[in-house]
Amino acid sequence: MASTLISAKLPPDVDPTKAPIAFGRRALPKLNREIQSPEVLTQQRALMALCDLVHDPENIYQAVQIGFLENLKILLLHHDSTVRQKTTEILYILAMHNVGRQGLIQNAVIPVLTELLDDPEDICRKNTHQVFDMMAKLPEGAVDILRAGLTPLLVLKLKTESDEIQELILGTLSNCLRVEASEALATDAITILKEKLTHPSVTIRSKAAQVILEIGTHPEGKTTVCEEVIPLLVSLLEDTDPEVQASAAGALMFATIKPKGRCLALRAEAIPRLLKLVAEENSRARLSAIKTLTMLAEVAEGRRKLLEHTDTFQQCLRDPSEAVKRAAEIAIRVIQWKPF
Partner 1 sequence: MLPALRPPPPAASALPYTYCSPPRAVPARPKYRAPLEADEPVKEAARWANLMYDRRVVRGNTYARQAVPMCIHHPSVFEIQRQREARRKALARKRAEEQIQLRTPEPVEGREHVHVQTELYLEEISDRIIEVDVECQTDAFLDRPPTPFFVPAKTGRDVATQIEEGELFDFDIEVKPILEVLIGKTIEQALLEVMEEEELARLWAHQRAYAELRNAELAEVQRLEEQDRRYREEKERCKQLQMQMLQKEKETMEKIAAQAFAKRYLADLIPSVFNNLHESGFFYDPIERDIETEFLPWLMTEVEETLEKKTLGRVMLDSLIRTVTEKRLDVFSQKPLPDQTEALAEEHMPTDSEPQVAAETEAADQAVKADEETDQPPDEEQASRHITFQLEEADQEEMEDSETD
Contacts to partner 1 by CB under 8 A: 1, 55-57, 96-97, 137, 213, 217, 246, 250, 253-254, 257-259, 284, 287-288, 291, 294-295, 298, 323, 327, 330
Q: Judged by CB, which is closer to partner 1: 203, or 217? A: 217
Dihedral sign computed on CA atoms, order 91, 97, 103, 109: positive
Q: How far is the CB of 288 from partner 1 (least distance, A)?
A: 7
Q: Judged by CB, which is closer to partner 1: 107, or 217? A: 217
* H or E element that contains 205: helix 202-216
Q: Which amino acid is at 159?
A: K
Question: Which of 310, 243, 231 has the alpha carbon at shortest distance from 278?
Answer: 310
Question: What's the CA gap between 168 and 186, in Å, rounded?
Answer: 21
* C-alpha distance from residue 66 to each of 31, 32, 72 (Å): 11, 8, 12
Question: Which of 14, 54, 44, 50 has the alpha carbon at shortest distance from 31?
Answer: 50
Q: Judged by CB, which is closer to partner 1: 186, or 323? A: 323
Question: What's the CA gap between 82 and 168, in Å, rounded?
Answer: 22
Q: How far is the CB of 327 from partner 1 (least distance, A)?
A: 6
Q: How far is the CB of 73 from partner 1 (least distance, A)?
A: 24
Q: How far is the CB of 329 from partner 1 (least distance, A)?
A: 12
Q: Judged by CB, which is closer to partner 1: 60, or 204? A: 60
Q: Which amino acid is at 120?
A: P
Q: How far is the CB of 254 from partner 1 (least distance, A)?
A: 6
Q: Judged by CB, which is closer to partner 1: 114, or 283? A: 283
Q: Judged by CB, which is closer to partner 1: 42, or 217? A: 217
Contact 121, 161 (CB under 8 A): no
* H or E element that contains 19: none
Q: How far is the CB of 55 from partner 1 (least distance, A)?
A: 6
Q: Judged by CB, which is closer to partner 1: 245, or 288? A: 288
Neighbour-count burial of 331, counting CB atoms closer than 10 A to its CB (0-12 exposed, 13-18 middle, 19+ buried):
buried
Q: How far is the CB of 9 from partner 1 (least distance, A)?
A: 18
Question: What's the CA gap between 183 and 223, in Å, rounded?
Answer: 15
Q: Judged by CB, which is closer to partner 1: 75, or 248? A: 248
Q: How far is the CB of 78 from partner 1 (least distance, A)?
A: 27
Contact 284, 246 (CB under 8 A): yes
Question: Which of 82, 71, 58, 91 has the alpha carbon at shortest distance from 30?
Answer: 71
